[in-house]
């Protein structure tokens, strides 16, 4: 035998000591990491950053304050037998968000929902994007027609191009009117 009983007891104690030390170091490290994470989360709460992040996530997923509006648009088009497809969304730098849909998957029929932070932001944003700042407009171009309906902080835009300009327009305008009437 190379080691006696006392040597084995000593080696066992050393191994236990090392394991306890490693566990202690790991515990302290995780405590420090959790503490830093908690401090960062608390900072976000006090600076409203956490609220802003949550609102942006909710808006981009169609939940939160804009969720009812987006849901109403979807239900209204569905009632007309029109599918809103290829849903895309984009945030602006001023707390607004825009959604874009293809009607029944056609790239010739596009509905955009622009939700701004305020009516003033809507007026300025629509003037910048479409050179129109009124509540209603029709922009007739060689390649297509764009119809705009707005109320308060929301603008609904329908663009149809090609020889199918009139295919969905009556239904789209009825949906726009219905949705905008729901706004306070």
86: left (phi over 0), alpha (psi -120 to 50) or beta: left
| Least confidently predicted of 47-61, 106-120, 141-155 | 47-61
pLDDT of residue 59 exceeding 70: no
Q: Are 163 and 145 in contact (CB under 8 A)?
A: no
Label residues 85-108 b or e (16+ Cβ within 10 Å = b). eeeebeeeeeebbbbbbbbeebeb
Q: Which pLDDT value is given to residue 113? A: 94
Tokens of 178: 């219905």
pTM of the model: 0.65
The contacts of residue 175 (CB under 8 Å, 6+ apart) are 73, 76, 77, 80
pLDDT tens string 118-142: 899 999 999 999 998 889 999 988 8
**Res. 58 pLDDT band, cuts 50 70 90:** low
φ, ψ of residue 18 to 5 degrees: the values are: -65, -45
- Give the side-chain half-sphere CA count within 13 A for 3: 8
- Segment of 13-27, 49-63, 77-91 carrying the highest mean pLDDT: 77-91
| Least confidently predicted of 40-54, 66-80, 165-179 | 40-54
Q: Which pLDDT value is given to residue 63? A: 45
């Amino acid at each position: 035998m190379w080691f006696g009983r006392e040597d084995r007891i000593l080696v066992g104690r050393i191994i236990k000591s090392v394991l306890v030390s490693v566990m202690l170091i790991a515990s302290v490290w995780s405590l420090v990491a959790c503490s830093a994470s908690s401090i960062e989360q608390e900072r976000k709460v006090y600076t409203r950053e956490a609220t802003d992040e949550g609102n942006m996530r909710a808006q981009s997923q169609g939940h939160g304050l804009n969720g009812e509006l987006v849901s109403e648009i979807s239900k209204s088009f569905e009632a007309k037998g029109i599918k809103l497809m290829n849903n895309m969304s984009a945030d602006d730098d001023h707390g607004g968000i825009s959604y874009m849909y293809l009607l029944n998957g056609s790239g010739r029929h596009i509905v955009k929902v622009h939700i701004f932070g305020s009516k003033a932001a809507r007026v300025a944003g629509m003037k910048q994007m479409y050179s129109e700042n009124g509540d209603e407009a029709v922009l007739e171009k060689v390649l297509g027609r764009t119809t705009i309906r707005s109320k308060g902080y929301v603008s609904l835009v329908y663009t149809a191009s090609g020889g199918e300009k009139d295919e969905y327009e009556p239904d789209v305008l009825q949906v726009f009117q219905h949705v905008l009437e729901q706004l306070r």
